[in-house]
Amino acid sequence: MPLYKTGLDMWKKYQAKFNPTVIGTRFTDVQSIAVDRAQEGLNMVATARDLVRPILDEYGITGGMRATYLAFGLALLRHIVRQKGDAGKKISSGLKSYYVNAYGLDPSVCDEIIQVIAGWVMPY
C-alpha cells in the first residue's frame, strides 16, 4: 500500500530542511553567479520587449492587448532559447495557436513577433 504525503508531512519536512543560517551561507556563496545570470536574463527580456514594441506600435495595439502580445513574445523567447531548429518551430507554432485561440491575438502580428524573436535569439 503506497504512502502518500500529506500537507502536514510536507510542512514538517520543509521546517526540518529550512535553516536560515545554512541558506544564508549558500546564497552568499552563489551571489556573484546569480547576479550575473539575472543581469543576462533581464537584458534578454528587455531586448525582446524592445523588438516587439515597434510591431505593436505599427498595428496600433494598446492597452491590455499590448500586454498580451508582450507576454506572447516573452513566452516565445523562453522556449526558443531552450529549443532550436524544428523543435523551436513546433513550439512557436503551438504558442501562436494557444495565444490566438485563448486570447484572440491576430495571427499575422504573432507571425511578425515570431520572426523578430526567433531571428534575434542566437544559437548556442
The C-alpha cell at 102 is 485563448
Model pLDDT for residues 68-89, shown as the tens digit of each residue: 999 999 999 999 899 888 888 8
Cα–Cα dist 55/118, whole Å: 14
The answer, yes or no, to whether residue 50 has pLDDT greater than 90, is yes
pLDDT at 86: 87
Query: Is the whole model's pTM more than 0.85, yes or no?
Result: no
Q: Is the dihedral of CA 82, 86, 92, 93 positive or negative?
A: negative
More confident residue, 34 or 19: 34
Stated length of the chain: 124
Q: How confident is the model at residue 14 (pLDDT cuts 50, 70, 90)?
A: confident
Could you tell me the domains of the chain?
A: 7-120 (1.20.58.800)
pLDDT at 120: 66
Report yes or no: 120 and 54 within 8 Å, Cβ to Cβ. no
